[in-house]
Every structure is written in C-alpha cells, then in structure tokens.
Amino acid sequence: MTEGDADLPEGYADSWDSDDGVFHIAIAGNRTEWEHYLEAEGLTDRICLVEFAYSEQELRSLSHEAEALTTNWGSGGASTGDTWAGVLNVYVDWLDVDRRAELADFSAANGEVPVVGHAPVEVLDDTFAAYEAAIAGATAELDPAASLAAACGPVRFSSIPPDFDEFPALDAEAEQALAELATGEETSLEAGFLEVDDRTWSIAHRSDTELILFGRDADPAAVITDGAVYARFDRSSADEPFGPSGWGGCWIQVESATYGNASIAFDTTRPPDPSSTELPLVINERNCASGRAPEGRDIVPVVTEGDSQIVIVVLVEPAGEADCPSNPWHPITVTLDSPLGDRTILDGHTSPPGTFGEATPGEHG
C-alpha cells in the first residue's frame, strides 16, 4: 500500500512508522470507509488510523490557491500547509485595501480551515473566519477622507497641496541607481524620455528593497502644468545595488487609500442656488463598476470651504470585482457650512484644483 495507490479511500493525510513496529496512517476522510479497506486488505492489526482535520491534498490545493492569489501582488506572497497541525500558513509582506479584500474573499470561500496570516493584520485565533473579521475591521478603521493624499504615480506627498521640497536630495546610492536607468543597456533607450539630466531629482521613498525617485522641472509651476516623472528601483537584499523596475510620467492627483475618485460636474437639471447650503452635483465614478451607478455604496464628499472658493473631492466606495464599461453620471447633493454665494467651486481631485463641467444624470462619461 502506498500513498499514490489509486485504490486508497479518499482523505489520506500522512503516514509514519513508530518504535513499536506499528504503522500509522493519518486520515481526513470517512473513517468507516478506511476501516473497511484495512479489513479487506488484512491490515487491521498492523495499521493504526489517526484522524486529522484536513488532508494533505486539501491543504496543498488550498496552498496553491493562496500562492496564485499572491503572485501578482507587489510584495509577493507564499503559503505552506502543515498537515500535522491542520493549518495553512499565508505569508505576505504587506496588505493594502485591495489585497485585504482579495484575501478576505479567498478566506471566506474556504470555510473554517485554520490559517496563520503572517501580515500586518492582527489575528488572534488564526482561523479563516477570524482573519476575515480582522481584515474587515482593519479596513473599516481606514477613514477614506482622512487618507487623502497628493500623489504622482507611486510618489506620495505628505501634504495637500504638495510640497515639492519635502523629499531629500539624491545621495550616492540613489545617484548610482539613476545613472543605471539613464545609461544601462536595457533601459537607456526606453527611459530616454525622462530627460534625466534636465530635472531635479529627490528620494520619495526608500526601504531595504525599494527605491522611488521623483523628478521635476526646477519651476514648480511646470510640474503642475507639464507633469513630472518618477523612477522605481528594487533589489533582493541591502547588499545589492538597486536596479530599475519602472519609470514614467505622472500628474499630481489627490487620492484616497481606500475609496476611488469620481469626476464632478454641475447638474444641468438642478442649477445651484446661491442662497442655499445645498449644492446639487453629478458624479462619474472613475473606477470600474460594470457600468452601474454607485447606488447602495458609500459616497463621501470632502469639502474645503474658503471665503472665495470651495474645493470638493468626491470619493466612492469600490464596487469590488467589476467590468469596465463607461459609468453613468449620478446625482448627489453636497451640504455646505454656509450658503454658496458667489464663491467659485473647484474640483479638488487634481493639484491645483480644476474647474467643473456640466452633465445630466443618466448620461455616460
């Protein structure tokens, strides 16, 4: 009898010899079926059955699912199944909101198989159910409005509007990485449009394995009107030099870490009233939503009021897995602290804020 024997009952988990000469088979299937099998094979007195919660095949299959799930994550991931403990271990370096949602869906689809999640989400009893709850709780604690930040591609600023001088200048390590991007045999032609020598570069982010540089024109106004550039580098360990992994142009956007942006326009069917604090608008969700309006999902207007202008950002709770046809314009009403008056209304999704257009609910963007 071997593990690969096609005639074995389902649920084989493991097997081993003991010092007393008894052979043990761990099973996670129908015990009665296994007893009948051993009796038929004349092995009842020679083999001891031990019951495990999950078979090796179940955990291996689940492990493959987890590895497939984490393959495309920026941080990567891995998983291992421990048959003896009946536990699946999922290892990830970090989890952003989208990845939390993916892992939550994966966890929920696999019942109560125990899992140990090695990631920055606290799990107390290491079960899929607890892991899903921890993920949901961690996500719920992230206020979409509080997480607003100005970003240019992978470069994130600590203030709105962004301070272009907040990042430190290049040091020797960063200069070496940028030189490799500009002159390397595999990157120089593709990266030529970055005009490396004509820009002021700074270090937007650095860890042991990742480096992100921000390149801009010396004139801050040119960054706003013409855009900027970024360059990303990575390495396996701190002992290696950084190698280019991505680069491109970017425009400064104001984004939330948890919710997606929506384009904003005046509602042609509901003109604004200067004497009212109720401001009618329409929004068009920028994220994929299968062409559906965001009804039943959270819509968060973030309003900054001044004496002469009002800046508005509208955030929309993600729709989850969705196709990407055009989304419809959807009416909302924003409540101001004081009557509109003659103040200018600006769209705060860009830096600097932009002006509104006009749209009618029901139209597609």
Average pLDDT of the chain is 78
φ and ψ of 265, to 5 deg: -150, 160
99 vs 334, higher pLDDT:
334
Q: Does the pLDDT value for residue 6 go beyond 90?
A: no
- pTM listed for this prediction: 0.56
Considering 42-46, 94-98, 126-130, 152-156, the range whose residues carry the highest mean pLDDT is: 152-156
Scan for tokens 């078979």, then name that residue.
Answer: 55
Query: Domain ranges in the chain?
Result: 12-51, 56-140, 149-255, 260-359
Q: How confident is the model at residue 121 (pLDDT cuts 50, 70, 90)?
A: very low
Average pLDDT of 40-61?
A: 78
Tell me what pLDDT residue 351 has: 84
Tell me what pLDDT residue 41 has: 86
Average pLDDT of 200-222?
A: 87
Q: Does the pLDDT value for residue 208 go beyond 50?
A: yes
Q: Does the pLDDT value for residue 140 go beyond 90?
A: no
Q: Which helix (H) or strand (E) holds 70?
A: helix 56-70
Scan for tokens 């709105």, then name that residue.
Answer: 160
φ and ψ of 253, to 5 deg: -120, 150
Interhelix angle 97-108/128-140, nearest 10 degrees: 150
Tell me what pLDDT residue 329 has: 93
The answer to whether residues 12 and 27 touch, using CB atoms and an 8 Å cutoff, is yes
Task: Say if domain 12-51 classifies as CATH 3.30.70.
Answer: yes
Strand order in the sheet with 253-255: 155-156, 149-152, 253-255
d(CA 14, CA 28) in angstroms, rounded, equals 9
Average pLDDT of 290-319?
A: 91
Tell me what pLDDT residue 342 has: 95
Count Cβ atoms within 10 A of the Cβ of residue 193 and give its class: 0-12 exposed, 13-18 middle, 19 or more buried. Answer: exposed
Angle among Cα 209, 210, 211 to the nearest 5 degrees reads 135
